[in-house]
């Protein structure tokens, strides 16, 4: 692979920059405070499985496109049904839980450092309104924040990564995609983007067969590696 | 008018946050260093008149939509023709001048302060790639940056302001549009957005008949007025 030279950095958001399970976990506990930890974890899994499966079905053309807000509301309803709790208002509130996710401790400072060096883009499966709220809640600021909603599909559909390529005005090999999910990086890589895996407790770790351009323990480690290459 | 209570702030970029004439002025001087100040100012006016007229024609349906990059390249060609200078490469470089505009001195700190209090959106007539570059160059970071290109038209077409309303997920009266151009604020106001005029040396000052919600000398003055209302 040629020397890594990138002109812009593209970030996955959910999981990579914010602790998505923690936010949804908090929402479920708020809906049904009597649940024990084991039960909350099980319902969190119900939520995540639903959203992932339905996004996959949309990418595969098995379900018409619907925004992440619709999927989150469906997941919230599944959780509420399971615990037999919650009127429509409580379900709606739980459905918005995905907009109040805490950043990882290194996220805000890491983005600020990278923004001084590169055009910085978000590329998220969150809907446009959800991404705005999430960015404001977690303190994530961008030169451009792109939602998969613009392509009316979800990552890993190639159309989503093409959004970033088009808006950047650059060839894909000049963009660095950063994510804590190997599946996300593989899809970006297949379109020619360069890739950086960042380890997070909630991610999808690389397989031995993956060959990403960079592997980082956290954002400071990523910044350090990029700085070293620019000298 | 009811008490001003806003949930999100929407900013015009060109002129309001960056010194657009200064950037284009520098580009023209770089193309033809022998020009005197008077001549550079005249060519700057040729540029701006062309872009404004053609945007207006697109809004009025008299010309098919073309991005701001196309208009900037046309303006660059007019300037190059006028001074009989510049091969295609130099014209292309001049056409990109609109992506390298200096921020006003209070811009970056002002946005940072507002981002701590409100979801912060850009709403610009710059194309999506131009807006990305401009934000990175001038250090403008957003929770969401919207380009009129998304609506394939230009401000003051109502479709552009509707982008901000849709993405915000809020009623228009909960959004505050900030601009140094009265024409921009009038259009936002007619859709129900709240409005704040910020004085800049290059703007379009309010007429006596205008009734904007806030009038600010600069961004610190705007922040101060918003803070006072939140107490």
* Predicted confidence (pLDDT) per residue in B70-105, tens digit: 999 999 999 999 998 878 899 999 999 989 999 999
Last residue of a domain, one of A45, A67, A99: A99
What average pLDDT does the structure give for chain B?
A: 95
Report the pLDDT value the prediction gives residue A231, as an integer from 0 to 100: 58
The alpha carbon of residue A210 is apart from the nearest alpha carbon of chain B, in Å, by 31
Do residues B12 and B37 share a domain?
A: no
Checking if the pLDDT of A170 tops 60, the result is yes
Residue whose tokens read 């014209």:
B91
| Residues of chain B neighbouring A136 (CB-CB closer than 8 A) | 8, 115, 118-120, 143
- Please judge whether B143 and A132 are an interchain contact, meaning their C-beta atoms are less than 8 angstroms apart: yes
Q: Assess whether A174 and A221 both reside in one domain.
A: yes
Contact (Cβ atoms closer than 8 angstroms) between residue A161 and residue A191: yes
| CATH classification at residue B27 | 1.10.150
For residue B183, the distance in angstroms to the closest alpha carbon of chain A comes to 26
Q: Is A67 helix (H, G, I), strand (E, B) or coil?
A: coil
The predicted structure's pLDDT at residue B17: 98
Instruction: Give the nearest partner residue to A132 out of B139, B150, B168, using CB atoms.
Output: B168
Give the model confidence (pLDDT) of A61-75 as tens digits. Answer: 999 999 999 999 999
Picking from A11, A73, A120, A142 by the largest number of B CB atoms within 10 A of its own CB, the best residue to mutate is A142
**Which pLDDT belongs to residue A2?**
54
Q: Are residues A142 and A153 in the same domain?
A: yes
| pLDDT tens digits, A20-32 | 999 999 999 999 9
pLDDT at residue A1 tops 60: no
Q: Show residues of chain A in contact with B132, CB under 8 Å.
A: 8, 119, 121, 143-144, 167-169
Whether B82 contacts chain A with CB within 8 A: no
Q: What is the pLDDT of residue B98?
A: 87
In a domain, residue A1? The reply is no
Instruction: For chain A, give the mean pLDDT.
Output: 95
**Same domain, yes or no: B27 and B67:** yes
| List of chain A residues whose C-beta atoms are within 8 Å of the C-beta of residue B136 | 8, 115, 118-120, 143
A131 interfacial to chain B (CB closer than 8 Å): yes
Q: What would the pLDDT profile of A44-102 be if each residue is shown by its tens digit?
A: 999 999 999 999 999 999 999 999 999 999 999 999 999 987 788 999 999 999 899 99
Interface touch B144/A139, C-beta < 8 Å: no
Chain B's closest residue to A136, CA to CA, is B119
What is the domain count for chain A? 2
Quick one: closest CA in B to A137, which residue? Answer: B119
Do A111 and A217 fall into the same domain? yes
> How many angstroms separate the CA atoms of B26 and B101, rounded?
9
Q: Mean of the pLDDT values across residues A131-138?
A: 98
Question: What pLDDT does B86 receive?
Answer: 73
- Structure confidence by residue, pLDDT tens digits, A184-203: 999 999 999 999 999 999 98
* Whether A149 and A202 share a structural domain: yes
Q: How confident is the model at residue B1 (pLDDT cuts 50, 70, 90)?
A: very low
- The CATH number that applies at residue A212 is 3.40.50.1000
Structure tokens at A137: 């809640």
Contact present, A213 and A195 (Cβ < 8 Å): yes
What phi and psi values does residue B128 have, to the nearest 5 degrees? -60, -50
- When CB atoms are compared, the residue of B8, B133, B143 closest to A119 is B133
Among B14, B46, B18, residue whose Cα is nearest residue B110: B18
Mean pLDDT of all residues in B165-174: 97
- Asked if the C-beta of A132 comes within 8 angstroms of chain B's C-beta atoms, the answer is yes
CA distance A228 to chain B (A): 21
The DSSP result for B20-72, as a single string, is: HHHHHHHHHHHH-TT--HHHHHHHHHHHHHHHHHHHHHHHTTSS----HHHHH
- Please tell me the predicted confidence (pLDDT) of residue B127: 97
B194 & B80 share domain? no
Determine whether the interchain pair A136/B119 forms a contact, defined as Cβ–Cβ distance below 8 Å.
Answer: yes
Residue B2 banded pLDDT, cuts 50, 70, 90:
low
Based on the fold, state whether residues A79 and A125 are members of the same structural domain: no
Within 10 Å of residue B105's Cβ, how many Cβ atoms? 11
For residue B123, give the 3-state DSSP assignment.
Answer: strand
Q: Does A114 touch chain B (CB under 8 A)?
A: no
**Chain B partners within 8 Å of A168 (Cβ):** 129, 132
pLDDT at B218 > cutoff 80: yes
One domain for residues B172 and B109: yes
State mean pLDDT over B189-195. Answer: 98
Question: Looking at the domain assignment, is residue B3 inside a domain?
Answer: no
ipTM: 0.95
Whether the Cβ atoms of residue B165 and residue B187 lie closer than 8 Å to each other: no
Beta strands in B160-211 (DSSP E): 175-179, 194-198
* pLDDT band, very low/low/confident/very high, at A174 (cuts 50, 70, 90): very high
Whether residue A71 lies inside any domain: the answer is yes
A132-145: b (≥16 Cβ within 10 Å) or e = bbbbbbbbbbbbbb
Stretch B108-134: mean pLDDT: 97
| Chain B residues with CB-CB distance to A143 below 8 A | 132, 135-136, 140-142, 145
Tell which of B53, B77, B99 closes a domain: B99
Judging contacts by C-beta atoms under 8 Å, the chain A residues touching residue B140 are: 143
Clarify whether residues A106 and A208 are in a common domain.
Answer: yes
Which of A29, A64, A99 is where one domain is finished? A99
Range of the domain at B36: 20-99
Instruction: Report whether pLDDT(B151) > 90.
Output: yes
- For chain B, what percent of residues have pLDDT higher than 90? 92
Cα dihedral across residues A62, A67, A68, A70: positive or negative: negative
Same domain, B225 and B148: yes
**Mean local confidence (pLDDT), A132-146:** 98
Interface contact flag, A133 B166, Cβ < 8 Å: no
**Same domain flag for A81 and A145:** no
Residue B11 has pLDDT above 60, yes or no: yes
Q: Does B140 sit within 8 Å of A119, measured CB to CB?
A: no
């Amino acid at each position: 692979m040629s020397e890594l030279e990138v002109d812009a950095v593209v970030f996955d958001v959910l999981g990579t920059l914010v602790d998505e399970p923690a936010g949804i976990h908090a929402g479920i506990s708020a809906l049904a405070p009597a649940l024990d930890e084991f039960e909350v974890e099980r319902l969190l899994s119900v939520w995540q499985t639903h959203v992932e499966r339905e996004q996959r079905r949309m990418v595969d053309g098995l379900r018409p496109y619907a925004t992440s807000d619709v999927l989150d509301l469906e997941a919230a309803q599944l959780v509420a049904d399971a615990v037999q709790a919650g009127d429509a208002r409580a379900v709606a509130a739980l459905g918005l839980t995905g907009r109040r996710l805490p950043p990882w401790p290194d996220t805000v400072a890491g983005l600020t450092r990278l923004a001084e060096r590169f055009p910085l883009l978000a590329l998220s499966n969150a809907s446009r309104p959800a991404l705005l709220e999430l960015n404001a809640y977690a303190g994530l600021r961008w030169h451009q924040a792109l939602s998969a909603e613009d392509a009316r599909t979800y990552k890993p559909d190639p159309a989503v990564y093409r959004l970033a390529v088009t808006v950047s005005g650059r060839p894909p090999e000049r963009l660095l995609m950063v994510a804590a999910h190997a599946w996300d990086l593989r899809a970006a890589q297949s379109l020619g983007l360069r890739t950086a895996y960042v380890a997070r407790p909630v991610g999808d770790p690389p397989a031995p067969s993956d060959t990403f351009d960079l592997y980082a323990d956290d954002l400071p480690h990523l910044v350090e590696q990029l700085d070293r290459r620019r000298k």
